[in-house]
Structure 1
Amino acid sequence: MPAKKKRGAQTLVFDQPPVITSWASIAGPKEGQGPWGQDFDWSMEDYLFGEESWEKAENKMLRETVKKALNKRNFDEADTEILMAGDLLNQLVSSNYAARELGIPFLGLYGACSTMAESLLLAAILVDGEFFERVIAAACSHHYTAERQFRFPTEQGIQKTPSSQWTATAAGAVLLEPVGTGPRITAVSIGKVIDMDQKDVSDMGSAMAPAAAHTIKTHFSDLNRPSDYYDLIVTGDLGKVGMAITQELFIKDGLQPEPNYSDCGVLLYDDFQEVYAGGSGCGCSACFLCGPLLKKMSAGEINKLLFVATGALMSPITSFQGESIPAIAHAVAIEN
């Protein structure tokens, strides 16, 4: 039998679109000082968040964001059937340790910076499929834990290139339910791994842009939608370099007139904040979705949103071995 909910090559359409009934976000000090600081539930005063290490702080960020999303619905951890979350650290330790403390059945996910979209689309599949009634989708990152793992200890003061991006210290979580009040996830497009042989780890935007463009083009093709269907298409997080390339690819791919388009890594910070080409990290798109974007949707300022989180799927080991940077992007259609 053919798959009833599949459309085209990579897209699923839901019979009973899951509802985002609650959401929450925590932002780091730099993110809280940016143009959207007032739209986050909690802005940290420092990077340790009352903990002994950056890694423990990241664990706490995710844990507290999940609790806050549940509390908004007067639920607690015992009311939640499954947590789907991920981060950037080896073996997903931030998510694993948060799940240990929360005591919620847990599926750990890794999609690099695409993890928020991956968790959302899988959570939506589980709710629409009537497997669960309350699912949390979440992601987080911490600037200094990522620097320590992927780049150089900050104490070395390594000079960064203009194409580099600043890993966001942030977390976001949403609660999905089959019924209720809130924006609905109507369709999702599962991305392919795209590799254009880009090897510069200081320019992840260029590596991820083709994956973003491919998924967006496929989403419109699979659903036969005009390129101006959405009020906003937002990628996360290509930064200024990747966003410029993606806009060029829109024209090449025939998405004209150009969609209403921006990028979480560009929007999250002001130019004076010295974040080079913009933001990155799982928490960048997670907090921007669970802060400004869903707030605007609840106010009716945005009614149709295509959220396309992007991920660079390299590791320090593959980079040291001269490998290129594979990338992926997943798309989630959220509509009022």
Structure 2
Amino acid sequence: MQQMKGKQSILFQEPVKIMSHACVGGKKEGEGPIGKHLDLIVDDPMFGKENWEESESSFLKTAGEIAIRKGKKKKEDVRMAFCGDLLGQLIASSFGIAELEIPYYGVYGACSSIGAALSIGAMTVNGGFADLVLTGCSSHFASAEKEFRFPLGYGSQRPYSATWTVTGAGAFLLNTQKGDVQIRGITTGKIKDYGVQDPFNMGACMAPAAADTIYQSLLDFEMKPEEFDQIITGDLGSVGQKLLFELLDENHKDIKKNHMDCGMQIFDAGSQDTHAGGSGCACSALMLSAVILPKIASGEWKKVLFVPTGALLSQVSANEGRTIPAIAHAVWLESGKEKK
């Protein structure tokens, strides 16, 4: 069964369906534009735990439990889980999923991790290796600052190019039988490095990867930008969006009329001080569950190219003065409602 398409893509002959999904956010996320669409808002950033990392694990575990419950399934029904986060050794995901006792693969793509998890999960289901797969991602503002920049107690000043890591988690159940939204195809991204070294300017780091994946996806699927209702990037923010448009213009691809960036939508730029926008694994995951999937399920959007973006730095690489490579993965989403 030949499903490879072009250089980097897969077009599923039998699309994989998203059975159910859930999103859990923190207090700041609940106060933003998507607050009313979250399944749960957790006002306590510690989630009743002793540290930020344990809190993040609880966000992911809770999102997974809600998604399973909404799908009218039990955790024992889930064959595999593919989850990721931003922390070293994926401790937020591994400690959270451990409590669900589901066979687990850790997935790392920085803030693009939900794109990677959905891609791998969809291939697993489509290939017949699992009938029900849980995919999910989490991030936490405080744990990310502690991991990659400065602990909150340091009180460092953030430049305007900086983004605000989203606190929360999203989870998605995949299968072949039931779901109002389906994964039609995927494009696996390539690592791109344009020599940016500023960890406070993630948009500039990730824009080249987003541009490359979007261009290749359109080429592989033989689609024009206007054939998608929306082409949605993960967390480029206002700085990265401008660079994305410039890079795609060089290849004669114009997505200005139908582009949306999750990082620019998840917070209110006027009332919430997040500088260039939101970021983190949960940024794309929350927007996907709270906004994107409901709009596709309702018929408001018919085809969406969902392109989460990620900057692949670590504490070690940053301290050694290395440049910041990036990656983006594309997931083609469309209505999957059964015809009556």
| TM superposition score normalised by structure 1 | 0.97
**Alignment match of 1:223 (pick from 221, 224, 235):** 221
Cα distance between partner residues in 2 of 1:119 and 1:256: 28
Residues 11-30 of structure 1: per-residue CA shift (max 9 Å, x gap): 00101100001000001111
Deviations 1:57-114 (Å, cap 9, x if unpaired)?
A: 1101100100100101211110100010000111000111112100000000110000
SS in 2 for 1:15: strand
Q: Percent identity?
A: 40
**Partner in structure 2 of residue 86 of structure 1:** 84
How far does the alpha carbon of each residue in 1:192-220 deviate from its partner, in whole angstroms, 9 at most, with x for none? 00000011111010010000000000000
From 108, 111, 124, the counterpart of 1:110: 108
* Separation (CA, whole Å) in 2 of partners of 1:318 and 1:31: 30
Q: Which residue of 2 aligns with 1:287?
A: 286
Among residues 172, 175, 178, which one is paired with 1:177 in the alignment? 175
Q: Distance in 1 between matches of 2:204 and 2:93?
A: 28
Alignment-mate amino acid for residue 158 of structure 1: S
1:15 paired residue among 5, 13, 31: 13
- Confirm or deny: 8 A CA contact 2:27 2:41 kept in the other structure: yes
Aligned equivalent of 1:301: 300
CA shift, 1:148, in A, is 0.8
1:259 to 1:249, Cα distance in 2 relative to 1, 3 A: farther
String of CA shifts for 1:279-324, please: whole Å, max 9, x gaps. Answer: 1110110111011111212221111111100110011211111100
Q: What's the secondary structure of 2:184's corresponding residue?
A: strand
Q: How far does the alpha carbon of each residue in 1:23-59 deviate from its partner, in whole angstroms, 9 at most, with x for none?
A: 0000111111001110111111120112222111110
Alignment CA distance shift 1:79-1:7 (3 Å) = same
- Return the alpha-carbon distance in structure 2 between the equivalents of residues 294 and 71 of structure 1: 18
User: What residue in structure 2 maps to residue 207 of structure 1?
Assistant: 205
Contact 1:84–1:119 (CA<8 Å) still a contact in 2?
A: yes
CA offset at residue 256 of structure 1? Answer: 3.4
2:297 corresponds to which letter in structure 1?
A: S
Q: Runs in 1 of length 4+ with deviation above 3 angstroms?
A: 256-259
TM-fit CA distance, 1:259: 5.1
Question: 2:278, 2:254 → 1: CA distance?
Answer: 27
Distance 1:185 1:297 in 2: 11
Query: 1:117 aligns to what SS in structure 2?
Result: helix
Whether contact under 8 Å (1:233, 1:259) holds in the other structure is no
Q: Quick check: 2:231–2:255 contact (8 Å CA) kept in 1?
A: no
Residues in 1 aligned to 2:89 and 2:22: alpha-carbon distance in whole angstroms: 24
Give the whole-Å Cα distance in 1 for the aligned partners of 2:197 and 2:60.
Answer: 31
**Whole-angstrom distance in 2 between the partners of 1:332 and 1:291:** 17
Q: Which residue of 1 aligns with 2:31?
A: 33
> Map of 1:64-103 to 2, 5 A cutoff?
64-103=62-101
Q: Distance in 2 between matches of 1:136 and 1:185?
A: 14
Q: Cα RMSD between the aligned structures?
A: 1.1
Aligned to 2:151: 153
Among 4, 8, 16, the residue aligned to 1:6:
4
Distance (Å, rounded) in 2 between the aligned partners of 1:277 and 1:317: 25
The answer on whether the counterparts of 2:34 and 2:291 sit within 8 Å (CA) in structure 1 is: yes
Q: Distance in 2 between matches of 1:74 and 1:166?
A: 34
- Partner letter of residue 57 of structure 1? S
Query: Is the CA contact (8 Å cut-off) linking 1:228 and 1:258 kept in structure 2?
Result: no
The letter of the residue matching 1:203 is N
- CA–CA separation in structure 2 for the residues paired with 1:266 and 1:175: 26
Distance 1:140 1:130 in 2: 27
User: Which whole-Å CA distance do the structure 1 matches of 2:90 and 2:229 have between them?
Assistant: 34
Structure 1: distance between partners of 2:168 and 2:198: 25
1:61 pairs with 2:91: no
Task: Name which of structure 1's ranges 190-199 and 298-307 shifts more when overlaid on structure 2.
Answer: 298-307
The amino acid of 1:315's aligned partner reads: S
- Number of equivalenced pairs: 334
**For 1:288, what is the secondary structure of its paired residue?**
helix
**Range with bigger deviation, 45-54 or 279-288:** 45-54
Q: Give me the whole-angstrom Cα distance separating, in 2, the residues matched to 1:135 and 1:208.
A: 28
> Residue 227 of structure 1 contacts residue 258 of structure 1 at CA under 8 Å; is this kept in 2?
no
Superposition map of 1:116-195 within 5 A = 116-195=114-193
Contact 2:245–2:254, Cα closer than 8 Å, also in 1: no
Output the CA distance in 1 between the equivalents of 2:116 and 2:175: 17
Unaligned runs of 5+ in 2: 336-340
* 3-state SS of 2:19 partner: strand
| Amino acid aligned to 1:142 | H
Q: Secondary structure at the match of 1:136?
A: strand
